[in-house]
Structure 1
């Protein structure tokens, strides 16, 4: 045991340093404070019904009616208890508070990768710090995109496992790959996993090329076989979540369109304009090196009383404090995105070392890093480079399911530090002529430093510092504030100067860190510094650089004392009045805060027609587009049992009690059959949902409309409510046709009359309906998705295989190491 600590003491010390860094950066989290994340707040509001039933029953329902009339709960929150990875993540989040566990995973995974790349531990630590403290990771955490950040945290250890496998450590490499790929998939951000997959395809292609050249294809094929097994195990471990997500995806806005009459509607996947909305500007890549080159975040409040804008306003007699406050509201970001939470900053010294790596690194990984980085850049440009983006969007499977294509830069942010650290290793343990290395070091400095000097001296040479939105900003905002077009133009000119100043200041800052990195490498090359000391100093320099930029976007001010959701989403008087209603399943449409379909706060207290989710059901979205975009269709509100509207005027918020709502379920007299979705949508544009059902002809065999009828005395009532188990009692003198104010989803809902399964069908485009036998009966709708239950069984089996594989890999590794120790003793 003592020998083990002696051999691994430096690794344990570095891991301890990582924990300390996390604790220092996120001190408020250790003090019991919580991070204010808008997306997390929205998610928790949407999960409220699920969590309430989980607390009551000990089991979370698989369906929720709290958002968009109803949707599968596993797209909001689900347990997956038979997936071993669920328990691993639960352990991590229990031991380390949010968001410390996320950053620690980045650091630990990065360190593992660089150790696998045979780096000195201190150089590996420097690489892990550079990879972790990239600004995008912290911006994601601040915004509440925890799943996306978690998925990215596993990039490095997945690559570590793959590299080990290709080196011939088949079992250990495959086991590590399976573990971290399973964690990656469980993070449930398929977009990030997809981007990593694209990059890894290039890596496998390069490995195949070298295997063919070296005539070692048998070893390559063996490695690929082990990795394929690792992928199968990782996918199997997550079978429940993957299967349900895939199944839901076909029915979501990322799936095929149901309508054919609207030519603008994509036939499959997302609308291209929507997917490309957040495209990286080609010039914006300068932020890799200079964080404020494009003004920082949209709401940066970077300008103060010394800004050109503040001084212009003060010249009009405005007090200094008011002028400073006015300046803080100015939009310093001038890129093409609708808005941004901050830049992609990879680190000035890392960018310098990346360029150096292009000159001096001989490892074949360089060509993979270069190719995958260039592709990620091109794809991030989206609408700004359609010739490549459209190729992927139109022809690559699943690519058109993802939005915000700028996220491709997560791959570049991952790969930049790898090549940078490989360059440092080459300088430290060089095989090249030192004079050649010195030349290439200077070339890299001239390129990086030259760009920075140009930005410092003449920032307007390559950049305009003007946004396409500036003209409308002047017209719509500044003129209204000051009432003087000439003065508004002078403020706009002052804002351009301030933007230039921000870029110049950060360019000077970046130049300092580039010179520090170059100086350290020069000193090491000249044998003035020992490699290990150089690595430590470089790690400190990288940390200071990245830390300073990250604190602009995520700092102590983002934390508050822990508050319950009741405090964050307080009950309004209108909420209290509605909650007095004893009915089980009425719905609410809140029109008081922007778009109700981009806000889940109403879902915290009510079953809402609105909500917040990136993948609504396609049919539901189509109804929103056709029946709610210009004016609200009251007939559709009725059929969805929308009993309350919350509105606002100059007198405050008020409730509209809608007595025409159809209720939970009702019998109809007539059926109108239509040929397709277009006719169905047209039919519900104006109809009487109380008496008529609109049904697609493909369900005609399930209806005998000549047998169905109902009398005034016939009735149906919801008697027991659980989101995934709805129980009704009804009484009817004849067979009846019932329509239910429940969202149609045929991937798991089953109907039972007195315990006997009964077919049901879709009506009114998005609702459920069924022909019920006459008499007094009990009807039950249960959500029983095979994708979840069968997937959970596969998860359990695969989890056992994963644990056995990891145990075997560790046992054989230890045994081999012990045998080696005995031989050399």
Structure 2
């Protein structure tokens, strides 16, 4: 044991430093403060019903009616108890507070990768810091994109496993790959995993090229075999997650359109404009080096004595009002709808990356360069349609994703790797020092030259005006009532943006010069290598830390009670919550984006809600029946008992009022008439105006499933009622004199819902575009709808077997490694 600590003491020290960095950066968590991440808060609203039944039953339901009438719960929250990675993630999240554990995982994974690349421990630690503190990683945390951030954290260990395998350390490399990839998939951010796979495909192609040239195809194929086995295990571990996600994806807005009149992607995937909504501007890539060259993000504000403030005070606007108005001005001038902050890789890191292009001889350089350039081109989206459309139209699954700028997570991961490889090359160089100095100067001229242009002649390449600048000025004209005054404010804002860019260019130039000085000292052996690594890590940390604090700092944290107070039920919510009848719905119109907000789901089962992948049919229903006027008939069939609206008070304030909808059709009802429609277009048109209690519109595809001749009009004493509500198990009792046709205010999803009459399974059909309906035998019976998706239950069995295999493989790999270290070398 003493020898083990001696051998690994340096690694334990590095991990300890990582922990200290996390606790210092997120020091408010020590005081019990929490980070109000908007997406996390949305998720809590989405999960409300799931967690209520989880607390009650000890396990979470697989379906929830909390939003959009109903959808699978495993697209919002599910534990997957047979998946071993569930417990790995739970370990970190339970031992360390959020979001501290995410940043720790960033650093630990990157440290493993750099150590795999045979880095000195302190240089590996500097590289881990360079990757972890990239601005995008912290902006994701601030926004609450927790799954995306965790997925990025496992990029590095997956690559570490790949490198180990191609170095012929097959068992351990495959084990690391399988575990890291399994966790990556479990993070359930398919978009990030997809982008990583593109980068890994390039990695494999480069290895293939060298295998062909070096006539080592046998070794290459052996490595591919081990990696394939690792991938199979990782996929198997996540069988439940992947199967249910794939199955649901076909029925979500990522799937094919049901309507021929829908302008969305008819071949599956999201709309092109929707996918390219957040495209990285070509010129905006300057932010990799100069963070606020494009004005920063939503939290960036002009300071006191800004040009805007001066223009206002010159017009006799009081100083406090002038400052307040100036700080409301949009500093960001790029073409994205808005942004939380820039992609900043670090001035020193970018400088070293360019230096690495000149001096690194490892073939990893070409992988890093090609994958980085491709991620850059893909991030341009609508600004480089030739390449983006090629992937969007022809690469499998690519058109399922939106916010294409997020592919820059790959660049943010790879750029620090080449930067640190450059430092390693300098530290252990065999090249002539004069040659290294010459290439160091080339890198300084390139990086410093760009910075000097921004500093001295910023308008040479940048306008500091968005394409909507004239509309912005026109809006100011309407606000201030004076064209000249408005234009003066607009010009002053441009001057402030230039000032912000210049200050950051000067800041970056300082760090670049420090980095160049450290490399010069290392080349000339003026500083010991290990000391240089430590200083370099501290300077990189200082640069990135200071930048990250602009977007995520102590001011972002609040008391937990304050956070909970934001989501307290209003008086109208409390009144509605007194209604204890089962499974009714609420439409909350007090929010203008009610179909994109989870606020109402904190308290009610709603027609609206928030989810990035709504069911396609329900989304089509929203677009066709709620776009503009609200279709009251559709509200009736969804059993919408209450509508919340804003009410203007005489005092000028605003309150909410409840509309109690007595016309809501209930949980289930018998209909006397079935009308068949030819296709989805006719079905949608049919529900534009109808009485859901009198007629049901059924697609002709279900005609053979019904025996219309046996069905009759319900009698006066016939009834059907919901007697027990559980989100994924609904129990009804009904009485009917003859066979009847019942419609249920439950959302159609045939990938798991089964119907039973007195325990005997029966078929059911779709009615009124989105609802379930069934032909029921006459008499007094119990009807049950149970959500029993084979994709989940069979997937869990596969996951259990694969998890056992993963543990065995890792255990054997660790055993083999320990044997290698304990076996003395032959003389």
- Confirm or deny a common fold (TM above 0.5): yes
| Residue aligned with 2:766, SS | strand
The number of residue pairs the alignment matches comes to: 821
Partner of 1:408: 407
| Greater mean alpha carbon deviation, residues 596-605 or residues 159-168 | 596-605
Q: What does 1:5-16 align with in structure 2 at a 5 Å threshold?
A: 5-16=5-16
Partner of 1:816: 820
What is the deviation of 1:208? 0.7
- Return the match for 2:567 from 548, 566, 569: 569
Q: What does 1:76-91 align with in structure 2 at a 5 Å threshold?
A: 76-91=76-91
Q: Aligned equivalents of 1:563 and 1:399: distance in 2?
A: 42
The answer to whether structure 1 residue 355 and structure 2 residue 354 are counterparts is yes
Note if contact 2:53-2:61 (Cα within 8 Å) is conserved in structure 1: yes
Q: Aligned equivalents of 1:520 and 1:268: distance in 2?
A: 52
- Return the match for 2:796 from 792, 810, 824: 792
Q: Aligned equivalents of 1:641 and 1:265: distance in 2?
A: 31
Partner of 2:782: 778
Partner of 2:727: 723
Q: Aligned equivalents of 2:119 and 2:677: distance in 1?
A: 68
Note if contact 1:257-1:267 (Cα within 8 Å) is conserved in structure 2: yes
Q: Aligned equivalents of 1:458 and 1:71: distance in 2?
A: 55
The answer to whether structure 1 residue 619 and structure 2 residue 617 are counterparts is yes
The answer to whether structure 1 residue 683 and structure 2 residue 677 are counterparts is no
Q: What does 1:86-101 align with in structure 2 at a 5 Å threshold?
A: 86-101=86-101
Partner of 1:20: 20
Q: What does 1:404-553 align with in structure 2 at a 5 Å threshold?
A: 404-476=403-475, 478-553=476-551
Partner of 2:711: 708
Partner of 2:633: 635
What is the deviation of 1:98? 0.4
- Return the match for 2:748 from 744, 747, 761: 744
What CA deviation, in whole Å up to 9, does each residue of 1:66-106 have, x standing for no partner? 01000000001001011111011111101111001000000
- Return the match for 2:698 from 680, 695, 707: 695
Note if contact 2:264-2:270 (Cα within 8 Å) is conserved in structure 1: no
Q: Aligned equivalents of 2:479 and 2:700: distance in 1?
A: 59
| Residue aligned with 2:738, SS | coil
Partner of 1:768: 772
What is the deviation of 1:574? 0.6
Note if contact 2:464-2:497 (Cα within 8 Å) is conserved in structure 1: yes
Partner of 2:665: 662
| Residue aligned with 2:558, SS | strand
Partner of 1:235: 235
Q: What does 1:246-261 align with in structure 2 at a 5 Å threshold?
A: 246-261=246-261
Q: Aligned equivalents of 2:409 and 2:303: distance in 1?
A: 32
| Greater mean alpha carbon deviation, residues 10-19 or residues 510-519 | 10-19
Note if contact 2:265-2:272 (Cα within 8 Å) is conserved in structure 1: no
Note if contact 2:133-2:548 (Cα within 8 Å) is conserved in structure 1: yes
| Residue aligned with 1:659, SS | coil
Note if contact 2:168-2:223 (Cα within 8 Å) is conserved in structure 1: yes
| Residue aligned with 2:47, SS | helix
Partner of 1:194: 194
Q: 1:397 and 1:585, CA in 2 relative to 1: closer, same or farther beyond 3 A?
A: same
Q: Aligned equivalents of 1:357 and 1:265: distance in 2?
A: 42
Q: Aligned equivalents of 1:265 and 1:527: distance in 2?
A: 60
Q: Aligned equivalents of 2:580 and 2:502: distance in 1?
A: 63
Note if contact 2:584-2:639 (Cα within 8 Å) is conserved in structure 1: yes
Partner of 2:176: 176
What is the deviation of 1:30? 2.0
Partner of 2:579: 581
Partner of 2:124: 124
Segments of structure 1 that go 5 or more residues without pairing to the other structure are none
| Greater mean alpha carbon deviation, residues 316-325 or residues 285-294 | 316-325
What CA deviation, in whole Å up to 9, does each residue of 1:447-468 have, x standing for no partner? 0001101111011110000012
What CA deviation, in whole Å up to 9, does each residue of 1:597-645 have, x standing for no partner? 1111111111101111100000001111111112111111111011111
Q: Aligned equivalents of 2:571 and 2:263: distance in 1?
A: 44
Note if contact 1:301-1:330 (Cα within 8 Å) is conserved in structure 2: no
| Greater mean alpha carbon deviation, residues 126-135 or residues 645-654 | 645-654
The answer to whether structure 1 residue 103 and structure 2 residue 103 are counterparts is yes
Partner of 2:206: 206
Q: Aligned equivalents of 1:129 and 1:579: distance in 2?
A: 49
Note if contact 1:729-1:779 (Cα within 8 Å) is conserved in structure 2: yes
What is the deviation of 1:820? 3.1
Partner of 2:652: none
| Residue aligned with 1:553, SS | coil
Note if contact 1:643-1:659 (Cα within 8 Å) is conserved in structure 2: yes
Note if contact 2:257-2:264 (Cα within 8 Å) is conserved in structure 1: no
What is the deviation of 1:564? 7.9
Note if contact 1:281-1:335 (Cα within 8 Å) is conserved in structure 2: yes
The answer to whether structure 1 residue 281 and structure 2 residue 285 are counterparts is no
What is the deviation of 1:267? 3.2
Note if contact 1:727-1:781 (Cα within 8 Å) is conserved in structure 2: yes
Partner of 1:735: 739
Partner of 2:43: 43
What is the deviation of 1:474? 2.2
Q: Aligned equivalents of 2:683 and 2:352: distance in 1?
A: 61
| Greater mean alpha carbon deviation, residues 579-588 or residues 383-392 | 579-588
Partner of 1:147: 147
Q: Aligned equivalents of 1:484 and 1:792: distance in 2?
A: 67
What is the deviation of 1:304? 1.9
Partner of 1:325: 324
Q: Aligned equivalents of 1:234 and 1:262: distance in 2?
A: 37
What is the deviation of 1:263? 4.2
The answer to whether structure 1 residue 755 and structure 2 residue 759 are counterparts is yes
Q: Aligned equivalents of 1:318 and 1:564: distance in 2?
A: 35
Q: Aligned equivalents of 2:370 and 2:638: distance in 1?
A: 52
Note if contact 1:295-1:334 (Cα within 8 Å) is conserved in structure 2: yes
Q: Aligned equivalents of 2:724 and 2:511: distance in 1?
A: 66
What is the deviation of 1:301? 4.1
What is the deviation of 1:563? 2.9
What is the deviation of 1:784? 0.2
| Residue aligned with 1:656, SS | strand
| Residue aligned with 1:727, SS | strand
Q: Aligned equivalents of 1:653 and 1:472: distance in 2?
A: 34
Q: Aligned equivalents of 2:454 and 2:70: distance in 1?
A: 53
What is the deviation of 1:32? 1.4
| Greater mean alpha carbon deviation, residues 498-507 or residues 641-650 | 641-650
Note if contact 1:300-1:332 (Cα within 8 Å) is conserved in structure 2: no
What CA deviation, in whole Å up to 9, does each residue of 1:325-345 have, x standing for no partner? 111100000000000000000
Note if contact 2:729-2:786 (Cα within 8 Å) is conserved in structure 1: yes
Q: Aligned equivalents of 1:30 and 1:163: distance in 2?
A: 38
Note if contact 2:256-2:265 (Cα within 8 Å) is conserved in structure 1: no
What is the deviation of 1:582? 2.4
What CA deviation, in whole Å up to 9, does each residue of 1:216-251 have, x standing for no partner? 111111111000000000000010011000000000
Q: Aligned equivalents of 1:290 and 1:262: distance in 2?
A: 43
